[in-house]
Amino acid sequence: MSSCHRTLGTRATLVTGLCQLPAATFEPSCILRAGLGGLGAGQGLPFTPGLCVPDVDECATGTHNCQAGFSCQNTRGSFYCQVRQRCMEGFLQDPEGNCVDINECTSLPEPCRSGFSCVNTVGSYTCQRHPLVCRRGYHANQDGSACVDVDECETGLHHCGDTQVCHNLPGSHRCDCKPGFQRDAFSRSCIDVNECWASPGRLCQHTCENTLGSYRCACASGFLLAADGRHCEDVNECEAGRCSQECANIYGSYQCYCRQGYQLAEDGHTCTDIDECAQGAGILCTFRCLNVPGSYQCACPDQGYTMMANGRTCKDLDECALGTHNCSAAETCFNIQGGFRCLRFTCPPNYVQVSEM
C-alpha cells in the first residue's frame, strides 16, 4: 500500500487509490488522487508526491475564470461558475449570491421625518409616529410633531356654570362671571346682581324689575316703554276707539264723555240715551212728551191743536175762524179748546135771531 503525508510529515491513509487525511489534520480535509503530479484541470489541490495540502479558494484568490454575470462558487479541490440572480428592490445580493433584505433604517441617513421612527420590513420599511406624550391641557397636533394647547372652551371640556363665561388659557382655562353676575366669596359661584337695588330710581323712569343677570323697565298703565327701554311714553287710548262716543286723552289715561241727550254708563265707556220725558214730562211739554235717541219731542193732540214755534206748547185751532168746521148753514160754529161745536139757535116767542135782523 502506498502512503500519503501531510505537511509537517503527518501521514494520510490511502483508500481506494485516494489519499485521505484525518478530519483533524486539515480544515477542510484534503482529498487528492495518488500518483498525480501538479494540478488537474479545475482542481485546486497542490500536490507533492506522498503529501496533501489544504484546498485553494480560487474565488477568493481571483484565479477563477467566471465571466460577468456569474459568481464564483468554491468547492473542494475546484470551483464552479453560477449565474447571478437579480434581486428585487429592497434586497441586496450577498457574496454567496443570495438576496438578503436591506435594512433601510440603518443604511439611509434620514429614512423618516421628525416625530417618526423607522421600522424595517421585508424589502422595504415604514415610518411610525412617535407616541407623543403631552402634559395636561395640551394634545398632539395633526402630524404628531408637537404639543398644542387644548381649547377647553371650544371643545366643551370646561367646568364653567350657566352663569359663567369660559376664557381659554395656555394649557388651562378660566371661568368668569357673566355680565349681571358677581362672584360669591363664600360659595365661589356667580350670583345675580340686583341692579334695581344697586341703582334705585336711576335706571328706569317708572318701575325697575330685576331679572336673572339683568333688569327690565316697566311702565304704569296708560304708558308705553320707549325705544330706549328706560323711559315711558303716554298712550293715546282714544286712537283705539275705547269710547262709544267722545274720548279725551289725558296724560297716562283717557276720559269718555257723551253728547247732549246721553249719559255715561257705569262701565265708563258706553253712552246711553237720557229719557228726558221720564225726568220732567210735565215741565218739558204742555201735552205729551216723546223720547227720541239723544233728545225728546213734544206732541199735540191729533185734532184741534197745533204746535207753537217753541216746540213745547200746543195752541188751540179755531176751526170756526179757519172755516175747517162742518156746521150746516142752519147751525152756528162755536169754537172750543181742541175742537168746535155746531149750535142750532131757536128763539123763544117774541124773539128773533140777531143774524136775521
Question: Does some domain include residue 68?
Answer: yes
- Of 49, 83, 117, the domain-final residue: 83
Rounded to whole angstroms, the Cα distance separating 153 from 173 reads: 7
Tell me, yes or no, whether 257 and 285 share the same domain. no
Question: Does some domain include residue 308?
Answer: yes
Tell me, yes or no, whether 24 and 51 share the same domain. yes
> What is the Cα Rg of the chain in Å?
71
Q: What's the pTM? A: 0.40
Measure the CA angle with vertex 95, ends 60 and 40; round to 5°: 35
Q: Are strands 138-140 and 164-169 parallel, antiparallel or unpaired?
A: unpaired
Rounded to whole angstroms, the Cα distance separating 284 from 274 reads: 14
Question: Does some domain include residue 295?
Answer: yes
Tell me, yes or no, whether 289 and 236 share the same domain. no
- Of 35, 60, 83, the domain-final residue: 83
Question: Does some domain include residue 125?
Answer: no
> For position 12, what pLDDT does the model report?
39
- Of 83, 107, 133, the domain-final residue: 83
Question: Does some domain include residue 263?
Answer: yes
Question: Does some domain include residue 238?
Answer: yes
Say how many domains are in the chain.
Answer: 3
> For position 9, what pLDDT does the model report?
36
Tell me, yes or no, whether 15 and 74 share the same domain. yes
Question: What is the CATH classification number for the domain harbouring 224?
Answer: 2.10.25.10
Question: Does some domain include residue 241?
Answer: yes
Question: Does some domain include residue 69?
Answer: yes
8-state DSSP, 28: S
How many CB atoms neighbour CB 55 within 10 A?
A: 22
Find the domain containing 263 and state its range: 196-273
Rounded to whole angstroms, the Cα distance separating 188 from 179 reads: 16
Tell me, yes or no, whether 17 and 63 share the same domain. yes
Tell me, yes or no, whether 269 and 280 share the same domain. no
pLDDT in tens, the chain (357 residues): 333 433 333 333 433 344 444 444 444 444 443 333 333 334 455 555 555 567 889 999 989 888 766 778 899 889 888 777 778 888 888 777 788 999 999 999 999 987 788 999 999 999 987 777 889 999 988 877 788 999 999 999 898 988 999 999 999 999 999 999 999 888 778 999 999 998 888 899 999 999 999 999 999 999 999 999 999 999 999 998 889 999 999 999 999 999 999 999 999 999 999 998 888 756 888 888 999 998 999 999 988 898 999 988 999 989 888 888 888 887 888 988 888 899 887 778 877 777 655
> For position 256, what pLDDT does the model report?
95
